[in-house]
């Protein structure tokens, strides 16, 4: 039996997997609901180790690459699969939608299943680091609100709900001016940010930043 076919057949029997797309050096995996729950509870490496053990139990050699898909790619020929298998893991959130109203931005974001920042925070219980939530708020606000990418001070930081791989979250951003620096032609003020998941508050804060006057 062709090795890719054998790999796909073996992995297809596992309840954590909804789709398997085998390539030359491994497979792209779309997780089932139970697979996503396992990822959230124990982390990526634990899940992949278990799947490699599943292959070994069926006399199939460990594969070089197993990658988790957020969604099925449009093209799934072998060269495309192989490129996905060798591509770097994501290090940034995925922007899905955005809209502005009265200088207030609302962004819908997806946390990639393979986001590299989950590896060390924590290896067996992946949650999105708070410092990264602040950093993303600054980075995403800068091109939309004209605010600086660095803050001088952080106030009223609240982290009330953990964020996990695969979560689809909503980020709101707006700038509140406090004073004007005429000499530098900038406004001093606060960047307000808040993250929500399914309507529930996850985190928020006020960041002291500058904004160039138009």
Residue % of the chain over a pLDDT of 70: 98
Positions of CATH 3.10.129.10 in the chain: 94-212
Rounded to whole angstroms, the Cα distance separating 39 from 173 reads 30
Which pTM value belongs to this model? 0.92
Each residue of 130-150: b (16+ CB within 10 Å) or e?
Answer: bebbbebbbebbbeebbbbee
pLDDT in tens, 100-136: 999 899 999 999 999 999 998 887 789 999 999 999 9
Q: What's the CATH number of domain 3-86, 2.40.110.10, 3.40.50.9100, 3.40.640.10, 3.30.300.30? A: 3.30.300.30
Bigger pLDDT: 125 vs 137? 137
Residues 6+ apart with CB under 8 A from 3: none
- The answer to whether 56 and 137 have CB atoms below 8 angstroms apart is no
- Look at the domain 94-212 and name its fold: Thiol Ester Dehydrase; Chain A (3.10.129)
Residue % of the chain over a pLDDT of 90: 86
């Amino acid at each position: 039996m062709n090795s890719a076919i054998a790999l796909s057949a073996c992995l297809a029997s596992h309840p954590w997997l909804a789709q398997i797309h085998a390539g030359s050096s491994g497979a792209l995996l779309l997780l089932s609901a139970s697979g996503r729950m396992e990822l959230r509870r124990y982390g990526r490496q634990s899940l992949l180790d278990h799947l490699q053990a599943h292959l070994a139990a069926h006399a199939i050699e460990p594969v070089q690459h197993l990658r988790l898909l957020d969604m099925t790619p449009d093209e799934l020929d072998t060269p495309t699969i192989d490129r996905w298998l060798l591509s770097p893991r994501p290090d940034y959130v995925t922007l899905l939608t955005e809209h502005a109203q009265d200088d207030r931005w609302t962004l819908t974001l997806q946390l990639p299943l393979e986001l590299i920042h989950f590896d060390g925070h924590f290896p067996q219980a992946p949650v999105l680091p708070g410092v990264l939530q602040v950093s993303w708020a600054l980075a995403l606000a800068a091109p939309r609100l004209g605010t600086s990418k660095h803050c001088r001070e952080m106030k009223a930081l609240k982290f009330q709900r953990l964020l996990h791989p695969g979560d689809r979250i909503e980020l709101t951003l707006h700038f509140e001016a406090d004073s004007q620096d005429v000499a530098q032609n900038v406004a001093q003020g606060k960047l307000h940010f808040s993250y929500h998941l399914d309507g529930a508050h996850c985190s928020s804060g006020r960041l002291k930043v500058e904004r160039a006057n138009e």
